[in-house]
Structure 1
Amino acid sequence: MLFLQVLITFIVPLVSAQCVPWSTPGTCTPSSSSCTFYNCLENKSNCGPTGYALGFALPFCDAITTASTSLSTNGQAWYSATKYCLQNALTTEASCQTSCQDIYTNAFASHIPCYIDSGFCTLNGHDLKIFFQIVGVNGTVSNDGLALFGAVLQQCMALYQNGDVSGGWVEWLYKTLNGDI
């Protein structure tokens, strides 16, 4: 066990410190008010229309930005914080040469904590309706979409059970799933 701890202590920083910068100059800067980070990421990674930046993030980011004025004050705060969090989670991928698959995998791994930490579980029904109209059926029934949505719901249910979230759609869902409604 001690050998493993020593190995992790000395090797992990060496591995994680190795960053080969993209050949495209410039820095991709996360923003809570813009979706241009994804254009910058695409310019560096060249993953194309099926990659994370152009195939997923940018279309949804642009669509939700357009609809954000229809969100409640809480919904707008959630969206702004989530937009920044999702972009910020990819700053390493935007700085260091990373495969398209790793960008995609790392991006999706950031969705659950970004959604939850930004307050997804506290959105009202109107905000959820707008969100799901934008994400649509295709966004929730793909394998990644289902896994993401299921994990977000699971986290919201856990927050409700712990008393960290009360009322709203989370309470309704919890009571429905438990046969209380």
Structure 2
Amino acid sequence: MHLLKAATILLIPLASATCTPWSTPGTCTPTSASCDFYNCLENKSNCGASGYALGYALPFCNAITAVSSTLSPNGQAWYSATKLCLQNALVTEASCQTSCTDIYLNAFASHVPCYVDSGFCELSGADLKIFFQIVGVQGVVSPDGLALFGAVLQQCVALYLNNEVNSGWTKWLVRTLNGEI
């Protein structure tokens, strides 16, 4: 079910309605310095442990933050840019009353562009290994995980074939698939 919803949101953006502010005062401010944005979003939306903020974003954000110093400088730059991008993508949801489903769908719709535009395709194999150790097998093979990483993989290969990416794991993957390695 989530896979279908995620695919739909990638193809058909949600129409924006008028904004009715949350009853909880304050502003959720995106920052690459912390994961606090997701606590703020949860305080407004009350989606609970199965919602996007507490059930997905905050645990992964905290886990990657905890090991971010082990990433290469390129990996740290990617992580910082991605963290900020993912939070910025939810500013409307943090400001306007939005259903938990819409928060989830809009959040996942932002993952592929945020990952790719921030340089995921050019991460080193070592950085990619750290990332996948955090996400884990369950995170990759879940229906949403498969859709997400399939879309990221597709975009990374397309960027490589268009000579827009010339380093990192994508180059290794394409060369391996072509029998060059």
Structure 1 length normalisation: TM-score?
Answer: 0.89
Match of 1:121 in 2: 121
Give a deviation string over 1:128-178, Cα, whole Å, max 9, x none: 010000000111111110000000011100010000111332122112333
Q: Distance in 2 between matches of 1:127 and 1:89?
A: 24
Match of 2:171 in 1: 171
Structure with greater Cα Rg: 1
Alpha-carbon deviation of 1:58?
0.1
SS in 2 for 1:131: helix
Match of 1:142 in 2: 142
In structure 2, runs of 5+ residues without a counterpart are: 1-14
Match of 1:36 in 2: 36
| One-letter identity of the residue aligned with 1:154 | Q
1:17–1:168 distance in 2 versus 1, CA, 3 Å: closer
Aligned residue pair count:
167
Alpha-carbon deviation of 1:179?
4.0
Match of 1:76 in 2: 76
Runs of 4 or more off by more than 4 Å in structure 1?
A: none
Aligned pairs for 1:1-181 (under 5 A) are 16=16, 18-181=18-181
Q: Distance in 1 between matches of 2:151 and 2:178?
A: 18
RMSD (CA atoms):
1.2
| One-letter identity of the residue aligned with 2:171 | E
Q: Distance in 2 between matches of 1:68 and 1:109?
A: 24
In structure 1, runs of 5+ residues without a counterpart are: 1-14
SS in 2 for 1:19: coil
Give a deviation string over 1:43-93, Cα, whole Å, max 9, x none: 000000000000000000000000000000000000000000000000000
Identity %: 77
SS in 2 for 1:112: helix
> Which structure carries more relative contact order (alpha carbon 8 Å, separation 6+)?
2
Give a deviation string over 1:3-62, Cα, whole Å, max 9, x none: xxxxxxxxxxxx746100000000000000100000000000000000000000000000
Q: Distance in 2 between matches of 1:153 and 1:104?
A: 21
